[in-house]
Amino acid sequence: MNPAAGPELRDIHLPPAPGWWPPAPGWWLLALLLLVVVVLGSRRAWRHLRRRRWRSRVQAELARIAAAHAQGGDALAAARATSQLLRRATLRIDPAAAALAGEAWLDFLDSRWPPAEAARGPFRHGPGRVLVDAQYRRPGPDEALRGDVERLLALARRWLAWTFRETDPHA
């Protein structure tokens, strides 16, 4: 018998299977993208929750003013409280507008309505006029002012609902 020609050869050895760490560059990019999506989604959710909480506080305060007025509270105090509430709500929309006074303040409030409603001028020519006139009225029972304040409260509720919808259409 012939001896084997050449040295004794062993079979091919495969390299060990790659480990799971460190991941391939594609996985790093996917992790980075996922992190960015989570951070942006969290910020958006946080802002949305803050806006909802703020809106509910504003609406609750308006409901409190209306309830106090309905229980026979001072109409002049309700008009002043409504004016202050609208000014604080305006700070979120346009901080410079909160410093407006008189007709300019009413014009700003009217400008926040949809065009058809703004043309009617519910603040300048309607129940919103109480915001400017109330400060010149005498304190004490005034049935005319009582009716005006009830209409003002309804107008303020509608204005806030429209403003909330306009500033955040997804809310």
- Domains of the chain, by residue range, sit at 56-167
pLDDT reported for residue 11: 86
Confidence band (pLDDT; 50, 70, 90) for 45?
very high
pTM: 0.73
Q: Of the candidates 84, 63, 57, 52, which has an alpha carbon nearest to the alpha carbon of residue 168? A: 52
Distance, in Å, from the CA atom of 131 to the CA atom of 141, rounded to the nearest integer, reads 17
pLDDT for 114 beyond 90: no
Q: Show the tokens assigned to 86.
A: 């609208």
Q: Of the candidates 75, 78, 76, which has an alpha carbon nearest to the alpha carbon of residue 63? A: 78
Helices (H), the chain: 25-70, 75-93, 102-111, 115-120, 130-133, 143-167
Residue given tokens 């990019």 in the structure block: 29
Confidence band (pLDDT; 50, 70, 90) for 1?
low
Region 120-139 average pLDDT: 83
pLDDT reported for residue 168: 61
pLDDT reported for residue 5: 66
pLDDT for 2 beyond 60: no
Q: By percentage, how much of the chain surpasses pLDDT 70?
A: 90
Of residues 98 and 4, the one with the higher pLDDT is 98
User: From the CB of residue 96, how many other CB atoms can be counted at a distance below 10 Å?
Assistant: 9
pLDDT reported for residue 134: 76
The letter for the amino acid at 31 is A
Region 142-151 average pLDDT: 81
What contacts 51, CB < 8 A, 6 or more positions away? 168, 171
